[in-house]
Amino acid sequence: MFKNDVFLLTKKILEESEKSLLNSFKTNSKYIDQDYRLSAGYMLLGIKELFKPLNKFIKILFYMLISVFLYDIVFANIKLENTIFTIIIFTSLVFFAIPSTYAFYGIKNSHIEKILNIFYQNNIKSINILESIEVNINMLYARSNERIKALKWIVSTSWLTYTIFLKQFMDLLSKQKNININDFSMTNIEITFQMLGYLLVAIIVITSYKKGIDFLFNAIKFSINEYKFILKQDNDRISIYNKKYNKTS
């Protein structure tokens, strides 16, 4: 029988990477399973990454308001329209940041080192094996994204179903004579705002989960590329040594 070495090695590397990148969520608990703690950890990590531009936006807005206030005190002739326009222009730069500030998914050198250490502990010394693991990781990443798409589809369908139901319900009420439509309209507005609140929370949760998944898999991908470079350097050194050894022998 064939041995599923690459499959099992990929599974082990993924599981160890999930735990290694979130040390604060590895503590034992009688009440909460470790998988749920790790899921919460990646969700919180995703929320942090999601709202990172908002933090910059608030800082820029704060400094802009102070600058405008001081300018108004000195010159006393600044117009409100110009102030608003200037603030919009400068704060919009947050959403057009240079790639080096966001393209790494929040991955740091310390995260790469942790995964490189996992490769080393699992005694991976072949670029061929590493490339096979990379193929499996890409398949798992695609599978994770399929789940996220399914969650988005469920949220979208729920909202569409609600709007269709609300429209049909209001059409039926409009045909009734003894019912105060205004009261029902106010109630429906309140319910709609509640539904919008739930929708916003669902979008934030799903987006945060997506960013957490992106962080995990791209950290592994960066590490695989880094480890390939290390192995290639080692192979080149061995090749140079063998050539020198063969010449002297």
pLDDT at 10 over 80: yes
Question: Any residues with CB less than 8 A from the CB of 6 and at least 6 apart, and which?
Answer: 129, 132, 133, 136
Q: How far, in Å, CA of 68 to CA of 96, rounded?
A: 23
Residue 212 · residue 50 · CB < 8 Å:
no
Q: Flag whether 118 is in a domain.
A: yes
Chain mean pLDDT for the chain: 78
pLDDT at 116: 92
Confidence of residue 241 (pLDDT cuts 50, 70, 90): very low
Average pLDDT over residues 157-184: 75
Q: What pLDDT does residue 118 have?
A: 93
Whether 238 is covered by a domain: the verdict is yes
The answer as to whether 35 is a domain residue is no
- Position with higher pLDDT, 136 vs 241: 136
**pLDDT value of position 164:** 86
With 90 as the cut, is the pLDDT of residue 13 above it? yes
Domain count, the chain: 1
pLDDT at 2 over 50: no
Domain assignment present for 217: yes
Task: Mark residue 106 as left, alpha or beta (left: phi above 0; alpha: psi -120 to 50; beta: remaining).
Answer: left
Assigned domain for 89 exists = no
Between 194 and 60, residue with greater pLDDT: 194
Residue 104 is assigned to a structural domain of this protein? no
What range defines the domain where residue 205 resides?
12-21+109-248
249 against 100, higher pLDDT: 100
Tokens 């991976």, located at residue:
124
pLDDT given for residue 9 in this prediction: 93
Q: How would DSSP label each residue in 49-90?
A: HHTHHHHHHHHHHHHHHHHHHHHHHHH----HHHHHHHHHHH
Neighbours of 153 (CB within 10 A): 10
pLDDT digits (tens, 9 = 90+) for 16-49: 999 888 864 454 555 556 677 777 788 888 888 8
pLDDT of residue 148: 93
Confidence of residue 248 (pLDDT cuts 50, 70, 90): very low
For residue 102, tell me if it sits in a domain. Answer: no
pLDDT at 213: 93
Are 136 and 11 a contacting pair, CB within 8 Å?
A: no
Question: Residue range 174-189: average pLDDT?
Answer: 66
Rounded Cα distance, 248 and 48, in Å: 59
Amino acid at 152: K
Is 171 within a domain?
Answer: yes
CA–CA distance, 90 with 20 (Å, rounded to integer): 39
Of the ranges 131-140, 190-199, 224-233, the best mean pLDDT one: 131-140
Whether 74 has a pLDDT exceeding 50, the answer reads: yes
